Amino acid sequence: MSETVQDVSTLIISKLLANPKVPRDITGSSKIVEDLAFDSLAVMNFVMEIEDELDVSVPLDRLAEIRTIDDLASCIVSLKKGT
Amino acid sequence: MTIFDKFRGIEHRLEELKALGGRNPFDVVIERPLSSTAGIIEGRETLLFGTNNYLGLSQSPRAIEAACETVRARGVGTTGSRIANGTQSLHQQLERRIADFFGQTHCMVFSTGYQANLGMISTLAGKEDYLLLDADSHASIYDASRLGHAQVIRFRHNDPEDLHKRLRRLDGTPGSKLVVVEGVYSMTGNVVPMAEMAAVKRETGATLLVDEAHSFGVLGSTGRGVAEAAGVEKDVDFIVGTFSKSLGTVGGYCVSNHPELDLVRLHCRPYMFTASLPPEVVAATIAALEDMQAHPELRSRLIDNAARFHAGLNTLGLTTGKTVSPVVAVVLDTIPEAIALWNRLLTLGLYVNLSLPPATPDHHPLLRCSVMATHTPDQIDRAIEIFSEAVNSLKTEALPT
């Protein structure tokens, strides 16, 4: 199965919206730290949930480059392709 | 815009904390220790239940004597790195004693426990390797992951199945896999399921490093820690720990049966580029280790004390971790509640550690208490009584919002 960046981004947004504290108007270009008010621990914990859903591990050093939800989606897609 | 702008957030939070409770919780001064279990804080005699001094050996007469003798004979410091002028015969003696205590062939002594984790983990896991960390790892382990060049993967706290799943995902990738767990997690007192973690290691061929900082001197039939207690010492490749808890001094170590540990000395920046331990600290540490070995009853008293304190807090209706260990964390719902309780305890003569998110798991503030072998039953009962008084007095007042 090969997800597109769009698929993964949609999945991330739906997971995020399950948390009532997350603003309702988030999009793929929302910034995870600034727009969602996540601290570093919250980001790592949230990514863990997505990892399980998609059976992929996102190394923490890759996480450092991620600003938006779409960045996270692209990173996951590239990890799943093994690049 | 100044270079200090990034600190304004923490400055603001600190002002809020002070406004809520009247004190800066990160600036408590123990004016003078009276014993291992009591000290003067704000001019009052205060019970110490937040020191990590599990066996009370910071006040060991044997260690004090050894330090005094050594400082007179050798001076106060080494002024150099272990790989230059900073290795004296005492450092080698300490390494031999620690290795022998663990029944391992090799030992490296570091200047702090923080540096032992920082150095070992960042050096062992290289560019092509993977580092697998428990989600609730200590800051020294996370910092090591940033100093080193390995790819870093977090697994769920104390969850061997999750670790296994993440190792399976790496099947077929080149590079070694270094798994890091802690014996007792310092914030919550949770004990690692060591036998299960060792089984995952055996099955996957990963390398296993255990940080016994809070379990050394505490768990296992001879105090070697969680791997001894679980009977899986042969599965552990590296044990890291500190002298600043059960042995009451300062410094860190790594022991291993891998002879290559001696090569790590020449790659490990936190070992190479810092001054070695002062001789009197080394002598005091050796003496404290002798004390610990000569007095196994300290360990059984510690476990009894931990059980008494844990049960007492639970009887008051406070939420703590389930496992009984010398770290007893009272879990609270809100930061204002935690600040108010912590301040009231200190006013009533009980010092515990205030731990706030994000330094705590799950965004809960904790009042982290650590129990000692040298606490008397009366001191433990008094500490529980103070908790009860503080909780009751706060119930009758409106909590700050």
pLDDT at B150: 96
CA angle B184, B261, B286 (to 5 degrees): 60
Q: Locate B13 and state its tokens.
A: 């939070």
Q: Locate B153 and state its tokens.
A: 């993967």
Asked whether B319 and B391 are in contact (CB, 8 A), the reply is: no
Helices (H) and strands (E) in chain B, counts: 14, 14
Section B240-269 average pLDDT: 98
Section B172-188 average pLDDT: 95
Closest-CA residue of chain A to B146: A61
Where are the alpha helices (H) located in chain A, listed in sequence order? 5-17, 40-54, 60-63, 69-80
The minimal CB distance from B358 to the residues A41, A57, A59 is found for A41
Neighboring chain A residues of B166 at a CB cutoff of 8 Å: 57
Asked whether A51 and A57 are in contact (CB, 8 A), the reply is: yes
Q: Which residue has the higher pLDDT, B323 or B286?
A: B286
Q: Locate A9 and state its tokens.
A: 């981004």
Interior/surface letters B264-273, b for 16+ CB within 10 angstroms, e for the rest: beeebebbbe
| % of chain A with per-residue pLDDT over 90 | 55
Interface of B with A (CB under 8 A): 130, 135, 145, 151-154, 156, 166, 169-170, 357-358, 363
Domains and CATH numbers, chain A: 5-80 (1.10.1200.10)
Query: Read out DSSP for B311-356?
Result: HHHHHTT--B-SS--SEEEEE-S-HHHHHHHHHHHHHTTEE-EEE-
Render pLDDT for B98-117 as a digit per residue (tens, 0 to 9): 999 999 999 999 999 999 99
Taking all residues of chain A, what is their mean pLDDT, rounded to a whole number?
A: 89
Alpha-carbon span B278 to B275, nearest angstrom: 9
Residue the block writes with tokens 């969850």: B159
Q: Which residues contact A23 (CB under 8 A, 6 or more apart)?
A: A30, A35, A36
Contact B153 A44 (CB under 8 A): no
Does B181 have pLDDT greater than 60?
yes
Amino acid at B309: F
CA of B262 to nearest chain A CA: how many angstroms apart? 29
pLDDT at B400: 53
| % of chain A with per-residue pLDDT over 70 | 98
Render pLDDT for B212-221 as a digit per residue (tens, 0 to 9): 999 999 999 9
Neighboring chain B residues of A57 at a CB cutoff of 8 Å: 153, 166, 169-170
Render pLDDT for B361-372 as a digit per residue (tens, 0 to 9): 778 999 999 999
Q: Which residues contact B113 (CB under 8 A, 6 or more apart)?
A: B140, B213, B240, B241, B242, B243, B244, B245, B251, B252
Does B398 have pLDDT greater than 70?
no
Query: Read out DSSP for B211-263?
Result: E-TTTTTTSSTTS--HHHHHT-GGG-SEEEEESSSTTSS--EEEEES-TTHHH
**pLDDT confidence of A21, banded at 50, 70, 90?**
confident
pLDDT at A1: 56
Interface confidence: ipTM more than 0.85: yes
The minimal CB distance from B145 to the residues A41, A42, A60 is found for A60
Q: How many CA atoms lie within 13 Å of B213's alpha carbon, on the beta-carbon side?
A: 26
Q: Locate B1 and state its tokens.
A: 């815009």
pLDDT at B363: 81
Characterise B176 by phi-psi region: left (phi > 0), alpha (psi -120 to 50), beta (else).
Answer: beta
Alpha-carbon span B327 to B183, nearest angstrom: 12
Taking all residues of chain B, what is their mean pLDDT, rounded to a whole number?
A: 96
Section B63-85 average pLDDT: 98
Interior/surface letters B24-35, b for 16+ CB within 10 angstroms, e for the rest: ebeebeeeeeee
A40 Cβ under 8 Å from any chain B Cβ: yes
**Inter-helix orientation angle A69-80/A40-54, to 10°:** 40
**pLDDT confidence of A38, banded at 50, 70, 90?**
confident
What are the strands of the beta sheet with B366-370, ordered from one edge?
Answer: B327-331, B366-370, B353-355
* C-alpha Rg value of chain B to the nearest Å: 22
CA of B216 to nearest chain A CA: how many angstroms apart? 28
A65 Cβ under 8 Å from any chain B Cβ: no
pLDDT at A83: 57
Domains and CATH numbers, chain B: 5-55+296-395 (3.90.1150.10), 60-294 (3.40.640.10)
Residue B89: strand, helix, or coil = helix
pLDDT at B395: 86
Render pLDDT for B4-43 as a digit per residue (tens, 0 to 9): 999 999 999 999 999 998 899 999 999 999 999 999 999 9
Closest-CA residue of chain B to A55: B169
Q: Which residues contact A68 (CB under 8 A, 6 or more apart)?
A: A28, A29, A30, A31, A32
Interior/surface letters B153-176, b for 16+ CB within 10 angstroms, e for the rest: bbbbbbbbebbbbbbeebeeeeee
Section B289-297 average pLDDT: 98
Asked whether A50 and A72 are in contact (CB, 8 A), the reply is: yes
| % of chain B with per-residue pLDDT over 70 | 99
